[in-house]
A and B are shown apart, each in its own frame.
Chain A
Amino acid sequence: MANIISDETIEYVGILAKLELSDEEKEQAKKDMGSMLDYIDKLNELDTTGVEPMSHVFPVNNVFREDVVTNGDDRDNILANAPEEKDGAFVVPKTFD
């Protein structure tokens, strides 16, 4: 395997991805990501000098509209799916003292 993923990298990716991995999962993730990147490195065979990155196949432009509210008050409908709600708001754990 050409790409060796370090413990630090997996730790960092875990922070970015907001995932908490067990030791066993970390070892598996290091192996999987290493072999995926080895495979992806195949792209380096291609000379892409001067090629513009293409994010969309068609030209995509911003769609503008007047800044007016068009949807109704959907609060209760939306909150119906909340794991926890109180007084018309989402409840989250305390974030500061």
Chain B
Amino acid sequence: MSLMKMTAVELGSRIKSKEISAVEAARAALDQIKSVEDKVNSYVTVLDEDVVLERAARVQQEIEAGKLTGPLAGVPVAIKDNMCTEGILTTCSSKILSNFKPGFSSEAVLNLEKAGAVILGKTNMDEFAMGSTTETSYFGPTKNPWNTAHVPGGSSGGSCSAVAAGECFYALGSDTGGSIRQPSSFCGVTGIKPTYGTVSRYGLIAYGSSLDQIGPVAKDVTDCAVILDTIASYDAKDSTSVKREYDFASALKDDVKGMRIGIPKDYFGEGLDSEVKEAVLNVAKTLEKKGAIVEEFDLSLVSYAIPAYYVIASAEASSNLARFDGVKYGYRTEDYEGLHNMYKKTRSEGFGPEVKRRIMLGSFVLSSGYYDAYYLKALRTKALIKQAFDKAFASYDMILAPAAPTTAPKLGDSLSDPIKMYLGDIYTISVNLAGLPGISVPCGIDSKGLPIGAQFIGNCFDEKKIIQAAYSYEKTRDMMLSDMCV
């Protein structure tokens, strides 16, 4: 089991130095999956043992031949089930894609494979990434490895629980409104949502295209930076891909002297759990002691981010999910009369309640007569939120905030009241609206024994600043938060 406690970068360097083989690492991960998967349900699909071990053996040969020299060569990884993987079931945790085996792989997955990644399987998620608990999955909920009566968060709940439970060495997630950062905080792992346009969305099954970003989930900041360096690329196949500098790992420096860190007062008021508040403010104190300049400020507009998000994300979802019609791929209803009835029955049987709720809301806000009042209003609000962040980043290098208002709720407590569930995204959602990078790092454990996450938010393209601050904070943390509880 000690092998599975290694970070991805530690394992990669031991594979390189021939202390461990890629095959041994893959076998250890598969063994751990076997022993805990029925308790946590992190995966929708675990690949056949033969397939995984064969790939690991091939990667090992290429390492020995000197063809693969990167830090992640031979390291086993899990992929969120909304990223296409050639020949491997890709379901988005939905009935409508329950039989879909893509004929191609997403760009982020190809980038990992080029670096010698060994894919273990596809992780569970909220259906089409719509949810904050991984309970809306067609394949049943994932459970939090720290306490299986609690949710892992969502929508990348399977990726985060797989990392926390040692069922992989790292994972890819996607983040539209907090779907990497919130479950990372609930599962005691580290996750980055990069600046919009940094990782190609080619092959990521779209939810809210103007907000979706792929990012790493791992045991520590070093892993996240190295993984992000590997998956980020300019891609002509994604029209919103941005040409930019990477080299995120060069920011792994233990130094925050002179860094200006802003604490938004409006993020620490009503609705924030007192233990979470204390833990996140302790992060500020720690960084201050190390030489950072910490100041409180008013970010403003905080309470408008969630309603604006749900209009924009639902509108984009209603358009993006129009492609699921039972013609080209996926589920098709058994009995139907004519084309339109086939579309309607396929979609009604294939989508779950939360997905239908958002498709309907999105169709409504885009319909004639309501477009200006709802959709354009939300886009104008988004512009104001972006301005508020621009103003903040004129004074601060980064913003420190909680990743979520509470620690992980109990299974079954969230879905009954959608708006209450949506409020859980209050600290993460505006980051997506403004296209900013954010990282969630574990910063404590509450009295229930559940992990707490702190979030560093940077200006667009300023990943390096938040990586450096998160890394510096991590150096002071004495507890090993990735100690598994399963």
Contacts and interface: CB of A to CB of B under 8 A. Distances in A.
A69 interface: no
A86 B384 CA distance: 52
B239 A29 contact: no
B307 A32 contact: no
B384 A19 contact: no
Given A58-B435, A83-B330, A93-B336, A43 B377 contact: yes
A4 interface: no
B347 interface: yes
B346 to A, nearest CB: 9
B307 A39 contact: yes
A20 B339 contact: no
A84 B103 contact: no
Contact of A13 (B99, B360, B374): B360
Contacts, number: 163
Nearest to B375: A53
B338 A54 contact: no
B3 interface: no
Contact of B363 (A16, A48, A83, A95): A16
Interface in A51-97: 51-58, 60, 63, 65, 74, 77-78, 80-84, 90, 92-95
A58 B197 contact: yes
Interface in A39-55: 39-46, 48, 51-55
Interface in A13-49: 13-14, 16-21, 25, 29, 32-33, 35-37, 39-46, 48
Nearest to B314: A36
A93 B344 contact: no
A86 B378 CA distance: 45
Contacts of A53: 376, 379-380, 382-383
B310 A32 contact: no
B338 A94 contact: yes
Contacts of B310: 36, 39-40
B384 A40 contact: no
B327 A82 contact: yes
A42 B302 CA distance: 12
Given A12-B367, A43-B308, A90-B328, A36 B361 contact: yes
B355 to A, nearest CB: 10
Contact of A17 (B311, B359, B374, B382): B359
Contacts of B376: 53
Given A53-B379, A54-B383, A56-B210, A18 B325 contact: yes
A56 B432 CA distance: 11
B110 to A, nearest CB: 15
B98 to A, nearest CB: 12
Contact of A54 (B306, B365, B386): B386
Q: Interface centre among B100, B210, B336, by most A CB within 10 Å? A: B210
B32 interface: no
Interface residues of A, number: 51
A63 B255 CA distance: 40
A19 B364 contact: no
Nearest to A38: B419
Classify the interface of chain B: helix, strand, loop or mixed.
helix
B460 interface: yes
Contact of A16 (B210, B307, B367): B367
Given A18-B344, A33-B361, A82 B381 contact: no
Interface string B347-371: 1100100001101111111010000
Contacts of B344: 18-20
B379 A17 contact: no
A20 B308 contact: no
A58 B196 contact: yes
A21 B336 CA distance: 15
Nearest to A84: B332
Contact of A81 (B328, B361, B377, B383): B328
B320 to A, nearest CB: 12
A17 B362 CA distance: 9
Interface in B206-258: 210, 236, 239-240, 242
A73 to B, nearest CB: 12
A45 B384 CA distance: 13
13 contacts: A17-B362, A18-B347, A29-B357, A33-B360, A43-B307, A43-B311, A45-B304, A48-B377, A48-B380, A48-B381, A56-B240, A80-B103, A83-B326
Interface of B: 99-103, 196-197, 210, 236, 239-240, 242, 301, 303-304, 306-308, 310-311, 318, 322, 325-332, 336-345, 347-348, 351, 356-357, 359-365, 367, 374, 376-384, 386, 418-419, 434-435, 460
* Those 9 A-B pairs whose CB atoms lie nearest each other, nearest first: A53-B379, A57-B435, A83-B332, A81-B329, A48-B380, A54-B383, A77-B103, A16-B363, A20-B344
Interface of A: 9-10, 12-14, 16-21, 25, 29, 32-33, 35-37, 39-46, 48, 51-58, 60, 63, 65, 74, 77-78, 80-84, 90, 92-95
